[in-house]
């Protein structure tokens, strides 16, 4: 059985961009506006010698209603199915109320969770990432999903033990 990795986080943090990189497809729609991936999307990743199933999700705002609630439910199901959760946040936004709501949920789960700070390209990564330690989800990984920076290190740290 391949390990299952779920990508969760608010809309627009770069989950689909990371999914596409890991699966080497352009399958997941990448958007400049939030909330395009409404359903869970499964892909096979073969990246840097690691084989796993990756699940892309539509995202959780943290205060769901209507369509957003469906998206949130998809994310919760993906978390349940996963051996490893990669919780993505946006380095440029700092910690948001939505991030805090998701972190609260994840801290209650018996899951391996890695906090992944995306979009560290072109900014001072150390400064941008410092804010996210307040989410109290352990070690923080900085990546730029769009360019691949940090992705190999993230997989080495999070997938090797599985
Ligand atoms: P999702 O809603 O979480 O799936 O986010 P998307 O993958 O659709 O990405 C949302 C936006 O962030 C798009 O405009 C992406 O091009 C952009 N984006 C994703 N990853 C990066 C990154 O590493 N750096 C920068 N600067 N932008 C990124
Ligand atoms: Mg998406």
Rounded Cα–Cα distance for residues 35 and 52 (Å): 25
- The ipTM assigned to this model is 0.99
**CATH fold of 4-159, please?**
Rossmann fold (3.40.50)
pTM across the whole model: 0.91
pLDDT in tens, the chain (162 residues): 899 999 999 989 999 999 999 998 766 655 554 554 556 788 999 898 999 999 998 766 667 666 567 667 888 889 999 999 999 999 999 999 889 988 988 998 899 999 999 999 999 999 999 999 999 998 899 999 999 999 999 999 999 888
Using left for φ > 0, alpha for ψ between -120 and 50, and beta otherwise, residue 132 falls in alpha
Do the Cβ atoms of 102 and 87 come closer than 8 Å?
Answer: yes
Q: Looking at 67-124, list the stretches that DSSP marks H as alpha helix, in order from N- to C-terminal side.
A: 67-81, 97-107
30 lines ligand 1 (CB under 6 A): yes
Do the Cβ atoms of 62 and 100 come closer than 8 Å?
Answer: yes
Q: Which ligand is nearest to the CA of 120?
A: 1
Q: Which ligand is nearest to the CA of 88?
A: 1
39 assigned ligand-binding residue: no
| Nearest residue by C-alpha to atom 25 in ligand 1 | 119
Tell the burial category of 98 from Cβ atoms under 10 Å away from its Cβ (0-12, 13-18, 19+). Answer: buried
11 lines ligand 1 (CB under 6 A): yes
State phi, psi for 105 to the nearest 5 degrees: -65, -50
Do the Cβ atoms of 141 and 154 come closer than 8 Å?
Answer: yes
75 lines ligand 1 (CB under 6 A): no
């Amino acid at each position: 059985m391949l390990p299952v990795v779920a990508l969760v986080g608010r809309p627009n943090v770069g989950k689909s961009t990371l999914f596409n990189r890991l699966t080497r497809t352009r399958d997941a729609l990448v958007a400049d506006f939030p909330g395009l991936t409404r359903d869970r999307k499964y892909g096979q990743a073969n990246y840097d010698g690691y084989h796993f199933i990756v699940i892309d999700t539509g995202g959780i705002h943290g205060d769901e209603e209507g369509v957003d609630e469906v998206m949130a439910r998809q994310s919760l199901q993906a978390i349940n199915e996963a051996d490893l959760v990669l919780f993505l946040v946006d380095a440029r936004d700092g910690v948001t109320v939505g991030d805090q709501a998701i972190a609260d949920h994840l801290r209650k789960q018996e899951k391996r969770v890695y906090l992944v700070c995306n979009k560290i390209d072109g900014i001072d990564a150390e400064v941008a990432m410092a804010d996210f330690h307040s989410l109290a989800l352990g070690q923080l990984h900085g990546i730029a999903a769009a360019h691949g920076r940090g992705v190999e290190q993230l997989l080495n740290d999070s997938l090797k033990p599985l």
